[in-house]
Amino acid sequence: MIWVTWRQFRGTILTGILTPLLISAVMMATTLVLDGVRSFGTVFFYCFGYPTTECVAETALTTASLATIALPVLLGVFVGVTVFSRDIERRSHVLGLTQAVSRRRWYWTRILVVFGPIVLAMGVLGLVSYWVRFRSFSGAYAFVGYFDSRLSFPLFGAAGIAPAAYTALGLAVGSALALLLRNTIGAMILTLVAMAAVLLVLPTAIREHYASPEIEKIELADNFYGGDSATYSSSPDALSQRWLIGSDYIDLNGDPVTVAWDTCPPNHDSWPEARPEETTAEFDARVSAYDRGVAAERIDCLRGLGIDHFENRYHPDSLFWRFQLTEAALCLLLAALLAGVAARLTRRLQP
Amino acid sequence: MTDTVLSMTDVGKSFRRNKVLENCTFDIERGSVTALVGSNGAGKSTLMSLVVGLLSPDTGQISVLGNQVGQRGIASGLSYLAQHKPLYPRFTVGEMLRFGRSTNDHWDDAYASELVDAAGVSTSARVKSLSPGHRTRVALALALGRRPEVLLLDEPLADLDPVARREVAQTLMRDAAEHGTTIVMSSHVLSELADIADTLMLLRRGRIQLSGALDDITSEHYVLIGEGDPSQAVGDGSVVSEAIGSGGKSFVVRGNRPASAPGWQVDNATLDDVVLAYLSDRSAA
Amino acid sequence: MIAYRIDRHSGIPAYVQLVLQTKQALRIGDLVVGDQLPTAKDVVGALAINPNTVLKAYRELERDGLVEPRPGLGTFVIASLAKPGMAEKTALTNELDRWVAHGIAAGLDRSDLEALIASALDARYHDTGDIER
């Protein structure tokens, strides 16, 4: 039965294995160019058009990362669905089911022989992607902003064991829908929609709950310029080491308070101008005094609204692998459930 | 002493609200060649799918070679050739045989290869390049390679040219003669069935209307040709149906031949006569 | 060797056709004592008919005493239907003629001669059973 499954799907299996491996190779090639190069510090789109080798490599890496994110969906649609739908549409499943092989064995052999290697290849891709990007923070920052955390979309899904887990889920969804609907195009469309929904919902609504967030309390001190600037006042390196999931003004009772952006006076337009007879030191001193004055106004205003402090909620970057494992476990559990459902659906297969 | 290899007891099957099969009960004896006839949509394919385990009956029981049919897959000792002769188009014939070897415990590779050879099909030919006749013979080789005790064939002769039909029939009869295989085949081609089959099963509107030895059935019926009302001549027989022929009306009657039937021509009933009589719309059955 | 053919439109059952063709072959001398009849497999392989048809025909021939099945080997011809040739007929006729002349010379009339012939035939056919029916 293993040979039969291989022979029937060798094109599919090879494509499903070679595509991630090819992308891995491209990613490895980019490290040869980018290795040791300081991070750009620029956002992705600014890199386009620059003829430097580093930029070409960055672009390649970006494309590869995009592909890594898209692959689980594509594989679900074009492999997960077709593995069963081709047989069913041609009605050749009748042949497979009238030999001395039980339906269960027919189904599970197909899943393991076709999906197994593909998920493993995606695992390789994910690990290569991780190694290329993150083994040191002087690695490439392409494709995302300088400030994005690798716990959030899209970095999280493009590296580690997440791509493999998403692929397993995509394949399970595709095959279950193919057996349920027995209509190839319909199953493909639904798989696309379902996987897109999953990849959307996971980072926006679910991932942040894998652990309780760390809370950074920012007091309304002299140098408080407003929530956003307080957040970004930490050192740049520290920023990408945390995934900010929320920030609020907090009142004395500990409840969040919504403050409209123009409620407390924003920075005035009347920035002190340098006077010609001033020395730089004098000018700097005047600017500092001005800033402190504005800050004091703001703090009074906020305190007047009952606000006690500003709070950042985040997950530290060190949780990356823990989150990877949690999300992978979630996806694999779901995939296993769907595979079980699909196995039962084979009982209902009509000739 | 009867050796029943396949039996159905009160089997019914519906799809949505259509009753496709109802109260089907029959026994098939070892070594017999049964012709399953019925109009399109009468339930022949459904009946076979039930025996093979591809569908589950709503009511009733089916047993093959002493074991009840369940969802565990096709009974060992049973082989099935579906109407669309399923094969894998991109496989070569040799790979199809290897498929048979890999998916079956008791596989007679020599026999299957010999059948493919005898058909003049090369093992390196791709399945999708085969003519319908060759395709049928390869699919048949696959079914026979399992060395079944019972062979079910759904319209095996359909879409075949006369030469291919002959060759398939010869292959089947050879297998029956050599291995004593019990054969159940559905077909529309009555003339070939008459030579091959010794048992008839007729399905009409999901029910089995006739079932038994072919010779017995044809001798139980006769044809009355003439004009007028046949009820006088028929005696205690029953008219199955009437048809308009070249010499007047002809009635197929079930019963003892009348000693004298003035004004009527009495003929033996052929298989064609009987089957057409029962399947026609104007059938009284 | 014998090659069977079935005429599907003759109205004669297939097995009867096989029996008749076998007997014809025995008469002509295409089949002689000791010859093996084709196996059921070979016959149905050529004619595409039900194997039971062949078996039925062979059983009928066996009942007629013409053939005999030998398990594991096949079905073999054990009797011939060949009629005597012309030469033999002439010799027999002459012999019969002389016998009749002897009988007349001994004083027997026609009915006596007929009675003698009848009882001789009775004795012969009674002993060996009805070979030719």
**pLDDT above 70: percentage of residues in chain A:** 81
Mean pLDDT of the region A328-350 = 93
Claim to verify: residue C66 and residue C104 sit in the same structural domain: no
Chain A stretch 103-122, residues whose beta carbon is closer than 8 A to a beta carbon of chain B:
103
d(CA B129, CA B93): 10
Question: How far, in Å, CA of B240 to CA of B259, rounded?
Answer: 19
Q: Is C54 on the interface with B (CB under 8 A)?
A: yes
C49 interface with B at CB cutoff 8 Å: yes
Residue of A6, A88, A99 best to disrupt the B interface, most CBs of B under 10 A: A99
Please check whether residues B136 and B178 belong to one and the same domain.
yes
**Does the structure show a pLDDT above 70 at A255?**
yes
Handedness of CA A217, A222, A228, A234 (dihedral sign): negative
Q: Tell me how far CA of residue A185 lies from CA of A152, A341, B152, B274, C78, in angstroms.
A: 32, 21, 34, 47, 72
User: Per-residue pLDDT tens for A142-184?
Assistant: 445 555 678 888 888 988 999 999 999 999 999 999 999 988 9
The pLDDT tens digits for A36-79 are: 554 454 435 566 556 576 677 777 777 888 899 999 999 999 99
Q: Which of A219-233, C2-16, C100-114 has the highest mean pLDDT?
A: C100-114
What is the token pair recorded at A39? 């991070």
pLDDT at B246: 72
DSSP 8-state symbol, B89: T
Does B62 share its domain with B200?
yes
Least trusted range by pLDDT, from A84-98, A221-235, A319-333, C50-64: A221-235
* Residues of chain C contacting B169 with CB distance shorter than 8 Å: 48
Tell me which of C35, C55, C77 is where a domain ends.
C77
Same domain for C103 and C54: no
> Which range has highest mean pLDDT (A7-11, A201-205, A259-263, C24-28)?
A7-11
Domain presence at residue B285: no
CA C76, CA C66: separation in Å to the nearest integer? 9
The residue written with tokens 């096989």 in the block is C18
pLDDT of residue C13: 86
pLDDT recorded at residue C58: 94
Angle of helix A2-34 versus helix A116-134 axis, rounded to 10: 10
Q: Is residue C34 part of a domain?
A: yes
Q: Is C14 an 8 Å CB contact of chain B?
A: yes
Residue B269 belongs to what domain range?
218-279
Per DSSP, the three-state class of B102 is helix
Residues of A in contact with B71 (CB under 8 A): 103, 347
Same domain, C21 and C61: yes
Cα A321 to Cα A81, A210, A284: the distances in Å are 31, 12, 46
d(CA B139, CA B152): 12
Chains C and B touch (3+ CB pairs under 8 A): yes
- Residues C104-124: tens digit of each pLDDT: 999 999 999 999 999 888 888
Confidence of residue C131 (pLDDT cuts 50, 70, 90): low
Residue B129 lies in a domain: yes
Please, which chains are in contact with A (at least 3 CB pairs closer than 8 A)? B
Can you tell me the mean pLDDT for B259-269?
81
Asked if pLDDT for residue A215 goes beyond 60, the answer is: yes
Binary contact (B174, C50; C-beta < 8 A): no
B171 and B270 belong to one structural domain: no
The residue ranking higher by pLDDT, A307 or A342, is A342
Q: How far is CA A136 from the centre of its chain?
A: 19
Distance in Å, alpha carbon of B137 to nearest chain C alpha carbon: 15
Q: How far is CA A310 from the centre of its chain?
A: 27
Decide if B212 is inside a domain: no
Q: Is the pLDDT of residue B91 over 70?
A: yes
Asked whether residue B41 carries a pLDDT value surpassing 90, the answer given is: no
pLDDT tens figures, C75-100: 999 888 777 666 567 778 888 999 99
Q: Which of B166, B173, B268 sits opposite C44 (nearest CB)?
A: B173
Residues C29 and C59 reside in one and the same domain: yes
Cβ-based contacts of B87 with chain A (< 8 Å) = 92, 95
Nearest-Cα residue of chain B relative to residue A86: B88
Measured distance CA(C25)–CA(C79) in Å, rounded: 12
3-state secondary structure of A328: helix
Dist. CA A4–CA A13, nearest whole Å: 13
B55 contacts A100? CB cut-off 8 A: no
pTM above 0.90, yes or no: no
Q: Do the domain assignments include residue B177? A: yes
* Mean pLDDT, chain B, integer: 89
Contact of C45 with chain B, judged by CB distance below 8 Å, is answered with: yes
**Residue C31: what are its φ and ψ, rounded to 5°?**
-115, 130
Hey, are the CB atoms on B195 and C44 less than 8 Å from each other? Answer: no
Domain co-membership, B267 together with B236: yes
Q: Give pLDDT tens digits for B145-181.
A: 999 999 999 999 988 999 999 999 999 999 999 999 9
Mean pLDDT of chain A: 83
Same domain? For B30 and B145 the reply is yes
In a domain, residue B213? The reply is: no
Q: Do A351 and B89 touch (CB under 8 A)?
A: no
B112 Cβ partners below 8 Å, 6+ apart?
Answer: B97, B100, B141, B142, B144, B145
Neighboring chain B residues of A98 at a CB cutoff of 8 Å = 52, 54, 73-74, 79-80, 82
Q: Which of C77, C102, C118 is the last residue of a domain?
A: C77
Domain shared by B58 and B135, yes or no = yes
Residues C59 and C98 in one domain: no
Q: What is the pLDDT of residue A155?
A: 83
Residue of A nearest to B87 (CA): A92
Distance CA A103, CA A100 (A): 10
* Whether residues B162 and B233 fall in one domain: no
User: In this predicted structure, what is the pLDDT of residue A142?
Assistant: 46
B173 and C44 Cβ atoms separated by less than 8 Å: yes
Which of B178, B195, B268 is facing C49, going by the closest CB pair? Answer: B195
Is C54 a member of any domain? yes
Query: How far off is chain A from B6, nearest CA to CA, in Å?
Result: 17
Which pLDDT score, from 0 to 100, does residue B118 have?
93
Contact B152, B181 (CB under 8 A): no
With respect to residue C1, please indicate whether it lies within any of the assigned structural domains: no
Q: What is the mean pLDDT of residues A81-110?
A: 92
Number of domains in chain B: 2
The two structure tokens encoding residue A21: 């491996």
Q: In Å, how far is C55's CA from the nearest CA of chain B?
A: 10
What CA–CA distance (Å, rounded) separates A196 from B52? 41
Spell out which residues of chain B touch residue A95, defining contact as CB-CB under 8 Å: 82, 86-88, 142
CB contact under 8 A, B173 and C49: yes
Confidence class for position B144, pLDDT limits 50, 70, 90: very high
Q: Look at residues C57, C77, C97 and tell me which one is the last residue of a structural domain.
A: C77
Are the C-beta atoms of B198 and B242 separated by less than 8 Å?
A: no
pLDDT tens digits for range B182-198: 999 998 778 778 889 99
A270 pLDDT more than 90: no
Query: Do chains A and B touch by CB distance (3+ pairs < 8 Å)?
Result: yes
CATH code of B21's domain: 3.40.50.300
Residue range of the domain that includes C112: 86-128
Band the pLDDT of A269: cuts 50, 70, 90.
Answer: low
* Ranges of H-type helices in B104-227: 109-118, 132-145, 162-179, 190-196, 214-220
Q: Give me B205's structure tokens.
A: 């509107």
Question: How far does Cα A51 stand from its chain's mean position?
Answer: 28
A92/B88 Cβ within 8 A: yes
Q: Return the bridge partners of C37, or none.
A: none
Q: Are residues C69 and C19 in the same domain?
A: yes
- Strand ranges inside A68-132, DSSP E: none
Where residue A230 falls among pLDDT bands split at 50, 70, 90? Answer: low
The minimum CA-CA distance between C31 and chain B, rounded to whole Å, is: 23
Q: Which of B76, B80, B102 lies at the smallest CB-CB distance from A4?
A: B102
Residues from chain B that touch C6, judged by Cβ atoms under 8 A, are 195
What's the pLDDT at C9? 79
- DSSP letters, B215-265, are HHHHHHEEEEEESS-THHHHTT-EEEEEEEETTEEEEEEESPPPS--TT-E
Tell me if residue A248 falls in helix, strand or coil.
Answer: strand
Largest CA distance in chain C: 65
| Residues in Cβ contact with A51 at an 8 Å cutoff, skipping those fewer than 6 apart | none
A183 backbone dihedrals φ, ψ, rounded to 5°: -130, 120
Q: Which of A95, A98, A100 sits opposite B87 (nearest CB)?
A: A95
* pLDDT score, position A192: 97
Is A89 buried (19+), middle (13-18) or exposed (0-12) by CB count in 10 A?
middle
How far apart CA C47 and CA B234 sit, in angstroms, is 38
CATH number at residue C38: 1.10.10.10
C15-74 pLDDT, tens digit per residue, is 999 999 999 888 877 888 889 999 999 999 999 999 999 999 999 999 999 999 998 888
A108: distance to nearest CA of chain B, Å? 14
- Answer yes or no: do C73 and C21 share one domain: yes
For this complex, say whether ipTM is above 0.90. Answer: no
Q: What is the nearest CA distance from B103 to chain A, expressed in angstroms?
A: 6
User: How far does the CA of residue B206 sit from the closest CA of chain A (Å)?
Assistant: 18
B88 and B138 inside one domain: yes
Residues A132, A143: Cα–Cα separation, whole Å:
14
Nearest CB among C40, C45, C50 relative to B170 is that of C45
Reported confidence tier of residue A110, pLDDT bands at 50, 70, 90: very high
A-B contacts at Cβ under 8 angstroms: 72
What's the structural domain count of chain C?
2
Cross-chain residue pair C48–B176, CB shorter than 8 Å: no
> Do the beta carbons of residue A5 and residue A113 sit within 8 Å?
yes
Closest approach of B200 to chain C, Cα-based (Å): 13
Q: Do B146 and A101 touch (CB under 8 A)?
A: no
Q: Is there a single domain that holds both residue B109 and residue B237?
A: no
